[in-house]
Amino acid sequence: MHTCFRANLCQKRGDFQFPDMDKFSSTRQNRALLRRGFTLIELLVVIAIIAILASMLLPALSKAKAKGQGTRCLSNLKQMQFAWLNYKDDFNDRLVLNWIRSPDAWITGDVGSPPDMTNITYIKAGTLFKYNTSVDIYRCPAEPPVKVDGKSYTRVRNWTINGMMAGGDITQGISGRKANEKYSDILRPDPVDAMVFVHESGVTIEDSYFAVNLSVPAFWQNAPASLHNGVATLSFADGHAEFWKYRDPSTRTIKEWNFTPPARQTNDLWRFQQATVTR
């Protein structure tokens, strides 16, 4: 009687509460469930959710990667262009030579086929190298490897220079026009529109210069690359670099030398001809 009385008294005073047995029992059951782990169905549901999230994120990641590669490509080309400009400042306004196999040219070697296409010695021996001693800026990070006889090769260089910019004897003979020798010769067009470095297509790239045929009938003598969602990557004599989105579908699929565009599809070739400096 005394014990019951004290318990009742404590309950009335709020000093004592009996434990919630239902809650205690539920907690024990939850711990037992945790010890048991996930069921197969639960695991499959989790895996399915992860797969759905991955499928949603991968396209966005791919676009971000492509955009980053395009930015690096443009940056590399700008650095090459600055080296080109610095050279003429040191040589009384004369442009760096763009002659085939000349030891005084901006680059030597033939990246059309192995083993030369992977030889960085040609880059380091070029007259422009001392103005920026990074071999990485001579290529585009998005350029895919080349497969030859079942082996993959990565070209050390993807850029060539407009053949009318201090080009050799072969270039000087194109359409009877003489290549520019000094920066002050760049008048048609002005430096802001005068093409210098070009990301050349793997189909035609080999030597140091990019040849644009200025005669009729028109055809692509050398072809520009078509990466970064179908654009050309170019630098210009004033120092800037930019992307040119192709207007003709045929430009993105050039797979042969001296490619002649289909009828009425010469907008891209016309732009390259207009950007080729002549005097």
Q: Where are the domains of the chain?
A: 72-275
Over pLDDT 70: what percentage of the chain? 76
167-200 as b/e: b if 16+ CB within 10 A: bbeebeebeebebbbebebbeebebeebbbbbbb
Q: How far apart are the C-alpha atoms of 138 and 142, rounded to whole Å?
A: 12
What is the greatest pairwise CA distance in the chain?
125
- pLDDT tens digits, one per residue of 197-248: 999 999 999 999 899 888 766 788 899 998 888 899 999 999 999 999 998 8
37-50 as b/e: b if 16+ CB within 10 A: eeeeeeeeeeeeee
Q: Which of 248, 155, 243 is nearest to 204 (CA)?
A: 155
Band the pLDDT of 58: cuts 50, 70, 90.
Answer: low
- The full DSSP string for the chain is -HHHHHHHHHHHHTS-----HHHHHHHHHHHHHHHH---HHHHHHHHHHHHHHHHHHHHHHHHHHHHHHHHHHHHHHHHHHHHHHHHHHHTTTBPPBB-TT-TTBS--S-TTSTTGGG-THHHHHSTTGGGS--GGGGS-TTPPPEEETTEEE--S--EEEETTBTB-HHHHTGGGPPPB-BGGG--BS-GGG-EEEEEB-TTT--SSEE----SSS--BSS-B--BTTTEEEEEETTS-EEEEE-SSGGGGG--STTBPPPTT--HHHHHHHHHS-B-
On average, the pLDDT of the chain sits at 82
At 261 the pLDDT is 82
Which residues have CB under 8 Å from 258's CB, separation 6+? Answer: 219, 220, 221
> Mean pLDDT, to the nearest integer, of 157-174?
79
Q: Which residue has the tokens 């059309």?
A: 112
> Mean pLDDT, to the nearest integer, of 164-169?
83
At 256 the pLDDT is 80
- pLDDT tens digits, one per residue of 11-56: 444 454 545 555 545 555 555 545 556 677 877 777 878 878 777 7
